């Protein structure tokens, strides 16, 4: 999995910050790491360096997942570390939800046992057996 980190001109992208963000992202997607191919982190100061506020720092995470559309989450907080942690939590939940729904759809797809039971029922009723979708 590739991790790319971008900062705006109000956030210094020093090595410790990059290592922290990469670690948080890897922990957040660990359960789905075989499906996540790429994550981009965009870190920024919402109000610029002129003002500060309660939710001044922003972290946007965009994940590319094999077989699904890209997904993005964002979180704003009073510090960059809180924004990163909040966005990572949201990304974990979004991945769990999207991949869980996909697994549900796969489980609902009729298996060979269902088709066999339908074929036997149709044969008993004198109808043509169903074909696989």
Coil, strand or helix at 94: helix
Structural domain range at position 65 = 2-98
Q: Does any domain span residue 113?
A: no
Q: How many CA atoms lie within 13 A of 64 on its CB side?
A: 8
Say which range, 7-16, 36-45, 83-92, has the weakest mean pLDDT: 7-16
pTM of the model: 0.74
Beta strand pairing call for 2-7 and 71-77: unpaired
Instruction: Give tens-digit pLDDT for 38-62.
Output: 999 999 988 766 665 666 899 999 9
* Count of structural domains within the chain: 1
Q: Does any domain span residue 56?
A: yes
Q: Tokens standing for 53?
A: 């506020």
Q: Does any domain span residue 20?
A: yes
* pLDDT of 124: 66
CATH code for the domain in which residue 15 is found: 3.30.160.100
Q: Tokens standing for 21?
A: 């963000």
Q: Does any domain span residue 115?
A: no
Q: Does any domain span residue 111?
A: no
Of 36, 41, 82, the closest CA to residue 60 belongs to 41
């Amino acid at each position: 999995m590739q991790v790319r980190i971008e900062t705006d001109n109000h956030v210094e992208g020093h090595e410790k910050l990059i290592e922290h963000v990469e670690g948080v992202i890897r922990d957040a997607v660990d359960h789905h790491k075989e499906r996540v191919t790429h994550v981009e982190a965009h870190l920024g100061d919402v109000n610029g360096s002129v003002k500060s506020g309660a939710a001044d720092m922003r972290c946007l995470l965009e994940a590319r997942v094999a077989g699904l559309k890209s997904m993005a989450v964002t979180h704003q907080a009073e510090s960059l570390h809180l924004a990163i942690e909040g966005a990572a939590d949201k990304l974990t939940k979004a991945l769990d939800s999207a991949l869980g729904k996909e697994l549900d759809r796969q489980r609902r797809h009729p298996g060979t046992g269902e088709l066999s039971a339908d074929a036997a029922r149709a044969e008993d009723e004198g109808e043509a057996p169903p074909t696989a979708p």
